[in-house]
Structure 1
Amino acid sequence: MLMRNTLVAARHRGVIFGTALTALTALWIAVAGPASALGVPDRPQSSVAFNAEVRAVAYHQDVIFVGGRFTAARDGQTTPQRSRLAAVSASDGALLDWAPRTDGAVQAIAVAGDSVYLGGDFGRVNGERREGLAKVHAETGELDEDFAPAVGGRVLALEAAHDRLYVAGSLYEIDGAKRGSAGAVALDTGALDEDWRPDIEGSVRTIAADSSRVYLGGSFSELNGSEKHGKLAAVDPATGGTDTSFAPKVWIMVRDLAVTSGQVYGALGGEGGRLASYGSDGTEQWAVTADGDFQAVTVLGETIYAGGHFTEVCNTARTGPNGDCVDGSEPRGRLAAVDASGRLLAWAPQADSAIGVLAMASNPDLRAVAVGGTFTTFGSGRIDQPYFAHFR
């Protein structure tokens, strides 16, 4: 039983799947009507909010771990201090007592067992020196004194899988050992994994793993000496060697990934933005375009949820030179949902802000979606819910 001051956490990454539509064919989007197909309502649950942007969210059972740039929460009429980390009850949206502190932004959270892993732009956690990477206890928020790898560069993404913590971003070394934008450490001690060392030219913004691969997405131009695997690629979970059987043709930045059952789903930038589905060999199966970048993606059941800084989702795959929809569009302020074939659904929370949604996660047991970003309202300005929202 989870109490206000007792948490047991593990990360849940959203997973999604798709069916084939060629990327060369214009994708006409039909709006689906039945609310039962949408999974969650488009009005956020009444919940705690924050005083600055949320950049990471992660579920376990009925707890949501939240990280970002905020320094305080807003829970009813009170504004308790929360130094870039917090935990929220997914049941009723209340702020929980868990309150570790960092001195800089938290960019990524991963959870395994009773450990919460933090990545970001900080130099101290709970007053102790930690260079961009740390582990705290899921119940108490206490810093793990033995887990202290030093990271050179920025940590932007974490993934706990294959008995490792995969770490990526614009980093160049871990514990003094050269690493090309990504590396791995032991989950328990933080010791550097000497074997997993992909050589990457450019920044990695997202990591996702399945049972046989680790997927990397970002703005990188080269992987392990080859330019054929830029922006989106798969590597071996043990060595970081390129999995050449996955060969998508992606030329724009990949900002977020979700994977399941051999399917890969990417939130992409570009002229406007793209939400794309890729098969196990990397073939693009369908793509949805918008008038701004897609920046986050997750899934609940058969519904794919995506966020970004777009205001419209295009009726076809065509966009103009400034990212505008050429063949008409449907209003979708910073959040949208599609079905497994890429068909736009009626879900439309209508969030505000120029930068929009930066992080999403889902919980299938609760049938819930958590969202973080720079937004402050939903319902076209009618619902006040700054920086964090929970749809259930």
Structure 2
Amino acid sequence: MATKAVAATVCCSAALLNASFAMAADTAPKPSFSADPLATWQTDGIVWSLASARGVVYVGGTFTSVRPPGAAPGTKEVSRRNFAAFDAVTGELLPCAPSFTGGEGTVRALKASPDGRVLYVGGSFSHVGSTGVASAVALNTAGCTLRKDFRPAVSSTVRAIDTTNRTVYLGGDFERVDGRTRNHVAAFTPKGTLLPFEADIDAPVRALSVVPAHEKLYVGGEFERVDGRSAHSLAALNPTTGELTRTYPSWLPPDSVVKSIAYDGTRFYVAAEGSGEGVFDGRIAGRISNDAMVWKDTCLGATQAVLPYEGVLYSASHAHDCTYTPGGFPERQDRQHLLAQSPENRRILHWFPDTDEGVGKGVEGVGPRALAVARGILWVGGEFTRVNDRPQQSLTRFGSGPGTVAPVVPALSVSAASPGKVTLRWQTSWDRTTAALTYRLYRDGRLVSRQTSSSTYWHRPWLRYTDSVPAGTRHRYRIEVTDGMNTSRKSPSLNVAVPAKVTDKGAGDPWT
């Protein structure tokens, strides 16, 4: 009786788990992208920023060359000094190749104008080609030429840029612009005239997101005070004057800072990075209309970028413990670097492409650091060296539609064999884009069982099937698994000799 009760409990638990997966899948939004990467060029250093305009993706970072898809480090390299451009759809390397050098030799921020005609570039550099500049410039996207009108003199690194039709905002480490005091944030006309907009922010700004329809400029970074008022890491400013209009005193603990801010039609999203115990590393959703918090997830693992797109929130981080976030995973001493979540309720969706963390140059390796969508393709940049367990450095991309890689076929084993019956077992596989997988079991080439079960990389239940066969016979069993679009190869044959009678081994022992 005890054995039957345990079996019933396991069975019912598995059924409830699969039912909960199915219910969540039916109501959750669907990610727009496959988890299988497209062929993509690579860089030899960190990608810090991405932007797109008119079918071109621009890549900024700390690197000296790029190389084709599949090329090993040091081979087939093409010179590109901290900046490169690619066709958004084909991924082809384009000839747009101004070099950004001097200073710290890095491009940290890219942003296209709303009409896509101008690309604003910020970082720490003193030259574009042979032209002397000071950490911020603009390029004409047609012809990839350096504009003469937007060349502010910025005293230190630019780390964030956002634009409207009338204003360009810079945020970063600087305290002076064009010889005037501008503490970590400044505003210009599109032609480069410094505007009277001014906010006294006491430490670097790392994120900017302007919402013209609501007259708000969200600012995030490492600061503690704005205009003399307490405003830890996140604030809203008047986009015309720079006046502080909102603080968020309970949103972030003392040792967490804001790395990225983005918004959709109704919400804004905050990405945080913390250090030490009791920090917040995840994402927050707020309502633009009244700045009320909608949700706050509980994942650990510093978040570097957030990007809402077609009803899903994508993020780049090194999440390693999302136990208390719906759909999340427990601490396993490993990390998941790309996530998709429901903007409505923070639920983590079943979309798990992944990178490694790479080797940082003077920074902690965290993997992906920048996200952008261009022509329906998700581009990801960072400091990683592998994507989905295959070599790929610092840049990758994911197309639309379902995955193209079949799940890994499980290994079959005999759980029990007795005269007239064989019980087989296997551990479920998992798929990066599909939770519910179907397992088809064959005896001697004939389909005898079809079971569907939901699994994730952190939760892979075991399945069983008891086959009724004549005593004293021999059979070959094989299994395959499908996600509905892609089907694995059949497993190697498992040869089973069915007992003719009960032996001293007992009916529960396998015969193979």
TM-score when scaled to structure 2? Answer: 0.64
Alignment-derived partner of residue 199 in structure 2: 198
Q: Which residue of 1 aligns with 2:356?
A: 352
Residue 386 of structure 1: aligned partner: 393
Query: 1:196 is matched by which residue type in structure 2?
Result: F
What displacement does 1:313 show?
4.2
Contact 1:337 1:346 in 2 (8 A): yes
Is the partner of 2:219 in helix, strand or coil?
strand
2:151 and 2:189 mapped to 1: Cα distance? 11
Partner of 2:284: 276
Match of 1:233 in 2: 235
What is the CA distance between 1:202 and its match in structure 2? Answer: 1.1
- Taking structure 1 as reference, are residues 272 and 351 closer, same or farther at Cα in structure 2, changes over 3 Å only? farther
- Report deviation, 1:273: 1.2
Could you give the per-residue CA deviations for residues 259-300 of structure 1, whole angstroms, max 9, x where no partner exists?
133411011012361111112333322122333101101022
Matched, 1:160 2:163: yes
Contact 1:314 1:330 (8 Å CA) reproduced:
no
- Judging by fraction of residues, say which structure has more helix: 2
Q: Is the 8 A contact 1:71 1:81 kept in 2?
A: yes
CA gap of 1:245–1:266, structure 2 versus 1, over 3 A, is closer
**What residue number does 2:211 align with?**
210
Asked whether the 8 Å contact 1:374–1:386 carries over to 2, the reply is yes
**Does the Cα contact within 8 Å between 2:233 and 2:252 map onto a contact in 1?**
yes
The reply to whether residue 179 of structure 1 matches residue 190 of structure 2 is no
- Superposed CA deviations along residues 10-52 of structure 1, whole A, max 9, x for unmatched, are xxxxxxxxxxxxxxxxxxx979658981110112211111111
- 5+ unaligned residues in a row in structure 1: which ranges? 1-28, 319-324
Preserved CA contact (<8 Å) 2:321 2:329: no
Q: Give the drift of 1:327.
A: 6.0
**2:89 equivalent in structure 1:** 91
**Aligned equivalents of 1:301 and 1:344: distance in 2?**
16
Over the aligned positions, Cα root-mean-square deviation in angstroms equals 2.5
Counterpart CA distance in 2 for 1:291 and 1:343 is 15
Q: How many residues align?
A: 350
The alignment status of 1:62 with 2:70, answered yes or no, reads no
Alpha-carbon distance between aligned partners in 1 of 2:188 and 2:250, rounded to the nearest angstrom: 28
For 1:249 and 1:315, locate their aligned partners in 2 and report how far apart those are by CA, in whole Å.
20
Aligned-partner Cα distance in 2 for 1:49–1:61: 22
- 1:14 maps to none
Question: Is 1:308 aligned with 2:285?
Answer: no
1:264 is matched with which residue?
268
Partners of 2:247 and 2:219 in 1: CA distance:
14
Secondary structure, in 3 states, of the residue corresponding to 1:314?
coil
Post-superposition offset of 1:145:
2.5
How big is the shift at 1:384?
Answer: 2.3
Q: 1:101 & 1:30 partners in 2: Cα distance?
A: 50
Going from structure 1 to structure 2, the CA distance change for 1:236 and 1:314 (only over 3 Å counts) comes to same
The letter of the residue matching 2:80 is R
Deviations 1:343-365 (A, max 9, x none): 011111121013211111224xx
- Taking only the aligned residue pairs, the percentage that are identical comes to 27
**Equivalents in 1 of 2:179, 2:235: separation in Å?**
26
CA distance in 2, matches of 1:331, 1:309: 9
Cα separation, partners in 2 of 1:357 and 1:289, compared to 1, 3 Å: farther
Equivalent-residue separation in structure 1 for 2:205 and 2:34 (angstroms)? 33
**Cα deviations across residues 115-170 of structure 1 (Å, max 9, x unaligned)?**
21110011111111111111122132222233221001221111112511101111
Give the Cα–Cα distance (whole angstroms) in 1 for the partners of residues 122 and 378 of structure 2: 22
Mapped to 2, the partners of 1:314 and 1:342 lie a distance apart of 11
Larger Rg: 2
Task: For CA contacts below 8 A with separation 6 or more, give which structure has more relative contact order.
Answer: 1
SS at match of 2:149: coil
How far the C-alpha of 1:54 sits from its partner, in A, is 0.5
CA, structure 1 residues 342+36, in 2 after alignment: closer, same or farther (shift >3 Å)?
Answer: closer
Q: Verify: 1:71 aligned to 2:48, yes or no.
A: no
Tell me if the contact between 1:315 and 1:329 (Cα under 8 Å) persists in the aligned partners: no
Deviation string, structure 1 residues 329-378 (Cα, Å, up to 9, x no partner): 79752111111221011111121013211111224xx3321111001111
Aligned to 2:385: 376
| 1:43–1:378 Cα contact (<8 Å) kept | no
Question: Counterpart in 2 of 1:17?
Answer: none
Say if 2:140 and 2:147, in contact at 8 Å, map to a contact too.
yes
Q: 1: distance between equivalents of 2:21 and 2:142?
A: 45
Tell whether the 8 Å contact from 2:235 to 2:247 is kept in structure 1 after alignment.
Answer: no
> How far 1:223 moved relative to its partner?
1.1
CA contact (8 A) 1:294 1:308 kept: yes
Distance 1:240 1:83 in 2: 34
Structure 1 runs (4+) greater than 4 angstroms displaced: 29-36, 245-248, 325-332
**Letter of the structure 2 residue corresponding to residue 226 of structure 1:** R
Q: Report the 3-state secondary structure (helix = DSSP H, G, I; strand = E; otherwise coil) of the residue aligned with 1:334.
A: strand
Amino acid at match of 2:194: L
Q: Which of 129, 145, 149 lines up with 1:146 in the alignment?
A: 149
> Given the two structures, how large is their TM-score scaled by the length of structure 1?
0.83
Give the Cα separation in 2 of the matches to 1:232 and 1:114: 30
Unmatched segments (≥5 aa) in structure 2:
1-19, 358-364, 400-512
Q: 2:170 touches 2:185 (CA, 8 Å); kept in 1?
A: yes
Q: Is the 8 A contact 1:314 1:329 kept in 2?
A: no
Relative to structure 1, the CA distance from residue 272 to residue 197 in structure 2 (aligned partners, 3 Å threshold; closer, same or farther) is closer
Distance change in 2, residues 1:66/1:141 (3 Å)? same
